[in-house]
Amino acid sequence: MLDKRMTIEAIVAELKDGMTIGVGGWATRRKPMALVRAIARSGLKDLTIVSYGGPDVGLLAAAGKIRKLVFAFVSLDHYPIEPHFKAARQAGAFEVLELDEGLFHWGLRAAAMRLPFLPTRIGLGTDLVKQPELSKTVVSPFADGETLIAMPALKLDAALLHVHRADARGDVLTLSPDPFFDELMARAADRTFVTAERVVPTAELDIAANSRFNIIERALVTGLAEAPFGAHPTSAAPDYQLDLAHLKTYVDAAASTEALAAYRASFVDVDESAYLAAVGGAEAVRGLPKPIY
């Protein structure tokens, strides 16, 4: 029987220095944080990270893993400015390709369609087009003759996603109300690795009732790991909500190198069970109140 289950460490071992990696979710929602923490612990380096950024970007920036960041924003929503990202960016720690949120989507879509680019007006009139990647234009071959930006395909070596449920074959469900752009990330990537809150028998996915939550077909999934609370401190609603108190601990860790080292020792350089205990345990996380956006 097809069985794609593997450990988080085994997934990280499939990644290589210099890879371009897409991270699913959006800001403080459904980020594959258990995988991100494992990458932060690993020897990986010189990564190009492609993300609708939240603490995934901040944590990898603080760990010195990023050579280039492809982004439209990095934010913790309730803390609009991501302090670890801010510090690394101001130190010139990595190069960037700054995009519009929709342009980002368009680049993933081009890669998903195996096109070199998709035309768009987005970026015209702004400083985004001063970046070499966005400096190419195409002229409409039709009567309008309009000049458009050629948004290059955002091709990924790997996509990392966190879902609510999966079976061993890689059939998945994301149960939160917004699927974000995880589907396009998977389609833009050579390989997709998934963490799931729970791995269950196929019948329990009840795909017929949950069809709209089945964001990708299993052929796109290379490997998966069960990772309960694997999105924490971001949310995996309805299973659990954003941990605002932990977010504050994480934000405060940007105050000094000592504070960051202490955060790392407690919450990054530990295995997932120690992590869960350090953030208050399963019951506390399950009981987190829904934040207000």
Stretch of 38-46, 93-101, 194-202, 249-257 lying at the interface with another protein (CB under 8 A)? 93-101
Stretch of 155-163, 167-175, 178-186, 259-267 lying at the interface with another protein (CB under 8 A)? 178-186
Judging by beta carbons within 10 Å of its beta carbon (0-12, 13-18, 19+), is residue 162 exposed, middle or buried?
A: buried
Q: Name the one residue in this structure whose structure tokens are 């070199």.
A: 116
Report the alpha-carbon distance of residue 27 to residue 82 in Å, rounded: 10
Report the alpha-carbon distance of residue 186 to residue 181 in Å, rounded: 9
Stretch of 72-80, 166-174, 248-256, 279-287 lying at the interface with another protein (CB under 8 A)? 72-80
Could you tell me how many residues make up the chain?
Answer: 293
CB of 76 closer than 8 Å to CB of 55: yes
Sign of the dihedral defined by the CA atoms of residues 35, 216, 180, 184, in that order: positive
Stretch of 153-161, 190-198, 220-228, 285-293 lying at the interface with another protein (CB under 8 A)? 285-293
Residue 245: strand, helix, or coil: helix
Could you tell me which of 110, 113, 51, 106 has the C-alpha nearest to residue 82?
A: 51
197 binds another protein (CB under 8 A): no
Nearer to another protein, 8 or 66 (CB): 66
Q: How far is the CB of 86 from another protein (least distance, A)?
A: 5
Dig out the tokens for 103 from the structure: 């342009």
The bridge status of strand 189-199 relative to strand 156-166 is: parallel
Stretch of 74-82, 156-164, 254-262, 275-283 lying at the interface with another protein (CB under 8 A)? 74-82
Report the alpha-carbon distance of residue 254 to residue 119 in Å, rounded: 39
Q: How far is the CB of 177 from another protein (least distance, A)?
A: 5
The one among 44, 165, 181, 197 contacting another protein by CB under 8 A: 181
Nearer to another protein, 38 or 185 (CB): 185
Site residues for another protein, 94-153, by CB under 8 A, read 95-96, 98-103, 105, 121-128, 130, 137, 147
Q: Name the one residue in this structure whose structure tokens are 């934000």.
A: 251
Report the alpha-carbon distance of residue 137 to residue 150 in Å, rounded: 5
Report the alpha-carbon distance of residue 267 to residue 250 in Å, rounded: 9
Site residues for another protein, 11-30, by CB under 8 A, read 26
Report the alpha-carbon distance of residue 46 to residue 63 in Å, rounded: 11
Stretch of 5-13, 86-94, 110-118, 161-169 lying at the interface with another protein (CB under 8 A)? 86-94
Nearer to another protein, 114 or 290 (CB): 290
Nearer to another protein, 20 or 75 (CB): 75
Neighbours of 4 (CB within 10 A): 18
The one among 1, 2, 43, 92 contacting another protein by CB under 8 A: 92
Site residues for another protein, 238-267, by CB under 8 A, read none
Q: Which spans of this chain sit near another protein (rule: CB under 8 A)? A: 26, 53, 71-75, 80-81, 85-86, 89-92, 95-96, 98-103, 105, 121-128, 130, 137, 147, 177-181, 290, 292-293
